[in-house]
Structure 1
Amino acid sequence: MIAINNLTFEIGARALYDEANWHIKPGEKIGLIGANGTGKTTLLKIIVGDYSPTSGTVSKSKELTIGYLNQDLLSYASDKSILHVAMEAFARQNELHTEIENLLKKLETDYSEELLNKLSDKQHEFETLDGYNIEYKAHEILAGLGFTEEQTHRKLAEFSGGWRMRVMLAKILLQAPDILLLDEPTNHLDLPSIQWLEDYLKAFEGAVVIVSHDRWFLDKVINRTVESRKGKLTVYAGNYTFYLEEKALREEIQRGEFKNQQSKIKQEEKLIERFRAKASKAKMAQSRIKMLDKMERIDDVDDDNPSVNFKFRFSKQSGRAVFNIEHLSKSYPNLSILNDTEAVIEKGDKIALIGANGKGKSTLLRIVAGADFDFTGKAETGYNVTKTFFAQHQLESLHLENEILTELQTFAPKHTDTELRSILGSFLFTGDDVFKKIKVLSGGEKSRVALAKALTADANFLILDEPTNHLDMASVNILIQALQQYEGTFIAVSHDRYFLDNIANKIWYIEDQKIKEYPGTYAEYEEWNSKRKLEPKAAAPAPKKEEKKEAAPVKQQSANDDKAKQLKKLNGDLQKMETQITDLENEVKQFETKLADPDVYNDKTKLNDTNTAYKQKQNQLKQIQQQWETLAEQIMELEA
């Protein structure tokens, strides 16, 4: 489909890519990952032809159609309706529609056979291209991306950049190209829209290449991972979690090979040093020196995962009740957000506030932060509570002429320079980076500085509104580590589900204008919520009182028979699964034995192949165990 061969791309004296290779095959769902600045967006622009490589080739088939979503589309504006802009995807259908309308107008005065035949041909082509359903398709995709019916008829220019980006995504999806290149497609989506996009991309028949910092999204969609690092492209045959596991294995092997080689080099150097001065051994020493010079050196493994090495400090502990909400109501003109709702934030709570855009998450955060007083009811901060509020607009409050270190020194004078440098180091500002002026930083770098400021505040209650925006995966991991060891209380809004799942012990969501709580992690909430959505469909209607009494025993007997048949079938399926589980457990044990075999462990190819097969069997075992548990629960419910 697309073949990248020996690609080199230079910016000034720096080679962003150096003889990189990558082949994209039909139907692959690929995550293109790597640290900021490694050239992911640049590579997409090279593929579509916006940039030309310094050397090497990018080969594409002539008929290949590409849909490219990039952040430059944020600036796209139009006075046409959202629906009209989205339907521009159907260029040929729109052209035919106009031609058919013109022909029908002509037929009012001209009844010639030639005109009728022309109209018939155009209508046939229009129908072949499914032209009568294009408006329905556009509505379906726009609804999936969060647009109401009323919004689709409003002008695109009336919406913010984030919402315009959704329209451009809808247009690209409606084009149904052979390959989708999506640069940060989830940046401007809320959770329901992200989940809809996941399902759409999984069912999409073409190839997909995604650049994203949302690892949960990547895990759900992709079946290949390509890492851009040090000018090369490395392919991993699995999703993001598989990539992490496989990369760790490869690094373990590389680390072992590096240590063995270093040991061998030291041994050779000792021999050379020992025999160099002896005339009889000088020739042998020179031979060994040449051998060392020709040796292909193995690099040690670089540590790409910085860790947090500072401790949060706050001077006073809060009381048990951190924030109390009673009979709270909040509304805007023609829109009610909260109505007579109650909630309590207690000391030690780690809360993730989730939901679709427009449900009032940011409004609620502003109320908790004390930045919005236009409501009725009670919203009270507890005893000894000191809070700090992080929101994206606070990036504007950074002092642009300050150096990064000066910005933190001014904000947190109680911290020593060593402590502040340590904090900035955790947020990837090392060495002389701390002397950069704020005005030269990128959006992501400014976000990291603002986060560092928030986390140095003498606060026992953190309020975080979209703290992961503009952060790469390494920075998100740093923030996760920081919040995991934070001993205070916090509430956070984010669309990054991996982030939420790793920091929260409670989930808040707004439903029917009430604040509702789920006591658990995000993953547990999502599983519970999926089952909850199915319950109304599964619930059987109550029997009508008008039914004749004599019919009841017959119906009851029929229901009992059906239940018995269903139980018999389910128990049979359960026994088959138990046999499969036993067989898979034995296979897994056999692979574990192989992995402990030195012959396998010392052979890199054998080890990789065996480890891949081992993980596949583990996944199969895990899946069938989950199926067994689900089936067992169904049987228990029927037997109750």
Structure 2
Amino acid sequence: MLIGFNNVTFEFGARVIVSEATWHIHPGERIGLIGYNGTGKSTMLKLIVGQYLPSVGTVEKGRGVTIGYLHQDLLSFDTNDSILEVAMGAFERVKQLEKEIEELGIELERTSDEKLLEKYTDKLHELEVLGGYTIHHRTEEVLQGLGFSNADVNRPYKEFSGGWRMRVLLAKMILQAPDVLLLDEPTNHLDLPSIEWLEKYLTHYQGSVVIVSHDKFFLNRMVNKIVDLYQQELHIYSGNYEYYEKEKEIRVEMQQRAYENQQDYIRQQERFIERFKAKASKAAAAQSAMKRLDKIDRIEQVEIERPNLRINFQIDKQPGKVLVDLKGVSKQFGENTIISGAVAEIERGDKIALIGANGKGKSTVLRIIAGTESYSGERVWGHNVEESFYAQHQLEALDLNNTILEEMQTARSGKTDLELRSLLGCFLFGGDDIDKRIKVLSGGEKARVALAKVIVSKANFLMLDEPTNHLDMHSVELLADALNKYEGSLIFVSHDRFFISRTANKIWEIIDHEIKEFKGTYTEYMEWKERMAKQQRNNKDKEAPAKEAPKQEAQPAKAAPQPKAALDQDQKKELQRLQKQFSKAEQDLARVQEEAKKLEAEMGNPDNYSDKTKFTALEQQYKAVQQKLATANKEYETLFEKVMSMES
């Protein structure tokens, strides 16, 4: 165990954040710490590092365990040092050794003291063991992985914006390689290529990692355990986020059934007591029933406390077939070319995700479409287009003296105050929050108000720049569902892959200063990219032997087909073997699925909930079957892909 919570209770004044929590972090674990906005996830991280002390219980840390903690408050740090120097701050011991070796070297020039020479040699050995000769290369490699160019690494840290500064501090932290790495919303500051790089890096990270994130894709790929902070309790699930969602649903359903069955039992006993307590012949039995009810361990009713509202878009007018037509559009910032002669078209019904690395000009293209950015070329606006644009500069357009509700009323959506309040609930504004003035809101809260104003408008064309940045997972789902039902058209910039995959039916990517369009979902786009990359690798493999072909000219031409015929025969045997394995895997999968169905039917039987031992045993059996099912599915899919690749 690296870190342990033992019956921890923590309170902020009268508000309980967590009560009687027990949680142990073990070596090699990848943990996703989740919960709705405001439940106290960041507070839990501060308890781990010791910034807060528990009201009751203890937080124990193993001897010598090191912790790295990435969080928003780090942005108060400022310096004139280059970002390379800041990131290399991870190697304090190496830098100290370099200084000591330099001083010892100067001393050795003046004297030939053997003890001094021995000390000098030991320091050199320690430097080598710590990888001191590679720290520049390692630091540059990590910084480049997080999106910095070679030219950037020597620029002063203070020249960079908040998001880029956070990347530098993330680079420093992963180079320190602590035993436990705590990451609070790391993907908020990263573009898609950097998120993918971080995933690969953390996959091979030797320490344990605790991640607070609303990015489902990131959690699904990164974690093997979920800790859910819900109703002041920690609920622990072994598996990724997708497994957690299914398992939580099962737990909630089982608890609700157990609660309902127990309530039926209690009502029966109460009716019995009420009926017979006054009769002398049944008084003893009624008294026994009362004692049984007093001793019963009451099951609590399950109430999922979360915003579960629907956002309903309305549009006043139907636009023409083409909403926006870009013809030969170019944009430069000094010597930096964003797009050159770009041609693209947005049609009615398009829901386009504009993706790519930071600095490629996604937001610039969005502003060009919106008409708020200068450009050369032609942008033709379609018939009956009523647009609404969400971007960071819109925050400045909010009236600081308005309450949130008053600001929403300025959108002239025709919605009642009650409907506006319901909508604001989705954006995490509830109760008295709605009467707060805009001027007292944080930057994130202002962004949510601006986004809500866009959502409530009756526009038939939406342009959204990072709409999910300040939303929790459930609110992201609500927004994705609403945009799926939206009858208008949409183009958005986002790094949230779950949101992109749920929302987009087309993908735009800026490649070589052009807008490249893919007609299909994000999942289909990624599969297509993988196929293209595989095809390129295969083509390179074919080209290599082709270059050596002249050496084979002296061989008889008829001899060439013979080795290929033998190879085809081997392939046929291999295919037959794979087909047999696939057939068996198919049967195994069907058997496990049938086993799971039988258990589900048993769990659906109310009789099984009155017996706690049987109920627990069934739950354990079901978990084991679910794991078998996951393994069988994986084996089935792997063999299916192999068979398909050989048959094609």
Contact 1:595 1:610 in 2 (8 A): no
How is 1:377-392 mapped onto 2 (pairs within 5 angstroms)?
377-392=377-392
Residue deviations 1:462-509, cap 9 Å, x none?
000000011111211221121111110001111110011111111111
Match of 1:590 among 570, 588, 595: 595
**What SS does the aligned partner of 1:508 have?**
strand
Rounded Cα–Cα distance in structure 2 between residues aligned with 1:394 and 1:461: 17
**What SS does the aligned partner of 2:627 have?**
helix
1:530 alignment partner in structure 2: 530
Q: Which moved more, 1:291-300 or 1:326-335?
A: 291-300
1:140 alignment partner in structure 2: 141
Match of 1:541 among 543, 558, 561: 543
1:114 alignment partner in structure 2: 115
Deviation at 1:580, TM superposition (A): 3.1
Identity %: 49
1:5 alignment partner in structure 2: 6
Contact 1:438 1:446 in 2 (8 A): yes
1:57 alignment partner in structure 2: 58
Rounded Cα–Cα distance in structure 1 between residues aligned with 2:285 and 2:430: 46
Contact 1:215 1:240 in 2 (8 A): yes
Deviation at 1:413, TM superposition (A): 5.2
Q: Which moved more, 1:242-251 or 1:149-158?
A: 149-158
How is 1:16-55 mapped onto 2 (pairs within 5 angstroms)?
16-55=17-56
Deviation at 1:520, TM superposition (A): 1.5
1:627 alignment partner in structure 2: 638
Deviation at 1:103, TM superposition (A): 2.7
Rounded Cα–Cα distance in structure 2 between residues aligned with 1:552 and 1:379: 63
Rounded Cα–Cα distance in structure 1 between residues aligned with 2:142 and 2:234: 33
TM-score normalised according to structure 2 size: 0.93
Deviation at 1:147, TM superposition (A): 1.1
2:425 alignment partner in structure 1: 425
Rounded Cα–Cα distance in structure 2 between residues aligned with 1:428 and 1:48: 28
Residue deviations 1:64-104, cap 9 Å, x none?
11111111112221211111111111121111112222233
Rounded Cα–Cα distance in structure 1 between residues aligned with 2:551 and 2:377: 49
Change beyond 3 A, Cα 1:585–1:280: closer
Rounded Cα–Cα distance in structure 2 between residues aligned with 1:115 and 1:303: 69
Rounded Cα–Cα distance in structure 2 between residues aligned with 1:323 and 1:629: 43
**What SS does the aligned partner of 1:186 have?**
helix
**What SS does the aligned partner of 1:541 have?**
helix
Matched, 1:469 2:469: yes
How is 1:236-635 mapped onto 2 (pairs within 5 angstroms)?
236-275=237-276, 288=289, 291-372=292-373, 374-412=374-412, 414-539=414-539, 540-541=542-543, 543-544=546-547, 549-551=553-555, 553=557, 554=559, 557-562=562-567, 564-597=569-602, 602=609, 603-635=614-646
Rounded Cα–Cα distance in structure 1 between residues aligned with 2:303 and 2:359: 43
**What SS does the aligned partner of 1:6 have?**
strand
Deviation at 1:218, TM superposition (A): 0.3
Contact 1:447 1:471 in 2 (8 A): no
Matched, 1:206 2:217: no
1:131 alignment partner in structure 2: 132
Change beyond 3 A, Cα 1:313–1:594: closer
Rounded Cα–Cα distance in structure 2 between residues aligned with 1:485 and 1:290: 55
Deviation at 1:560, TM superposition (A): 4.9
Rounded Cα–Cα distance in structure 1 between residues aligned with 2:367 and 2:308: 31
Rounded Cα–Cα distance in structure 1 between residues aligned with 2:80 and 2:561: 63
Rounded Cα–Cα distance in structure 1 between residues aligned with 2:620 and 2:27: 24
Rounded Cα–Cα distance in structure 1 between residues aligned with 2:567 and 2:207: 43
2:180 alignment partner in structure 1: 179
1:226 alignment partner in structure 2: 227
2:105 alignment partner in structure 1: 104
Contact 1:308 1:482 in 2 (8 A): no
Contact 1:444 1:471 in 2 (8 A): no
Rounded Cα–Cα distance in structure 2 between residues aligned with 1:287 and 1:590: 41
Q: Which moved more, 1:626-635 or 1:188-197?
A: 626-635
Contact 1:182 1:210 in 2 (8 A): yes
Deviation at 1:587, TM superposition (A): 3.1
Deviation at 1:250, TM superposition (A): 0.5
Residue deviations 1:154-189, cap 9 Å, x none?
111111111111111111111111111111111100
Rounded Cα–Cα distance in structure 2 between residues aligned with 1:147 and 1:557: 53
Deviation at 1:266, TM superposition (A): 2.9
2:76 alignment partner in structure 1: 75
Q: Which moved more, 1:256-265 or 1:219-228?
A: 256-265
Change beyond 3 A, Cα 1:157–1:344: same
**What SS does the aligned partner of 2:186 have?**
coil
Contact 1:468 1:476 in 2 (8 A): yes
Deviation at 1:404, TM superposition (A): 1.9
Contact 1:591 1:610 in 2 (8 A): no
Deviation at 1:285, TM superposition (A): 5.3
Rounded Cα–Cα distance in structure 2 between residues aligned with 1:46 and 1:419: 39
**What SS does the aligned partner of 1:315 have?**
coil
Deviation at 1:109, TM superposition (A): 3.9
Q: Which moved more, 1:608-617 or 1:353-362?
A: 608-617
**What SS does the aligned partner of 1:88 have?**
helix
Change beyond 3 A, Cα 1:153–1:293: same
Rounded Cα–Cα distance in structure 2 between residues aligned with 1:571 and 1:393: 62
**What SS does the aligned partner of 2:640 have?**
helix
Q: Which moved more, 1:443-452 or 1:542-551?
A: 542-551
**What SS does the aligned partner of 1:139 have?**
helix
Contact 1:423 1:452 in 2 (8 A): yes
Deviation at 1:127, TM superposition (A): 1.1
Rounded Cα–Cα distance in structure 1 between residues aligned with 2:265 and 2:538: 67
Rounded Cα–Cα distance in structure 1 between residues aligned with 2:270 and 2:136: 75
Contact 1:21 1:232 in 2 (8 A): no
Structure 2: segments with no counterpart, 5+ residues: none
Q: Which moved more, 1:253-262 or 1:28-37?
A: 253-262
Rounded Cα–Cα distance in structure 2 between residues aligned with 1:194 and 1:388: 29
Rounded Cα–Cα distance in structure 1 between residues aligned with 2:95 and 2:6: 39
Rounded Cα–Cα distance in structure 2 between residues aligned with 1:418 and 1:50: 41
**What SS does the aligned partner of 1:18 have?**
strand
Deviation at 1:244, TM superposition (A): 0.6
Rounded Cα–Cα distance in structure 2 between residues aligned with 1:552 and 1:222: 58
Q: Which moved more, 1:207-216 or 1:103-112?
A: 103-112
Q: Which moved more, 1:137-146 or 1:295-304?
A: 295-304
Q: Which moved more, 1:564-573 or 1:402-411?
A: 564-573
Q: Which moved more, 1:70-79 or 1:502-511?
A: 70-79
Change beyond 3 A, Cα 1:101–1:552: farther
Deviation at 1:398, TM superposition (A): 2.4
Deviation at 1:305, TM superposition (A): 4.7
Structure 1: segments with no counterpart, 5+ residues: none
Change beyond 3 A, Cα 1:433–1:82: closer
The one-letter code sitting in structure 1 at the alignment partner of 2:160 is F
**What SS does the aligned partner of 2:90 have?**
coil
**What SS does the aligned partner of 2:367 have?**
helix
Change beyond 3 A, Cα 1:285–1:451: farther
Deviation at 1:455, TM superposition (A): 1.0
Contact 1:213 1:472 in 2 (8 A): yes
Rounded Cα–Cα distance in structure 1 between residues aligned with 2:483 and 2:503: 7
Deviation at 1:381, TM superposition (A): 1.5
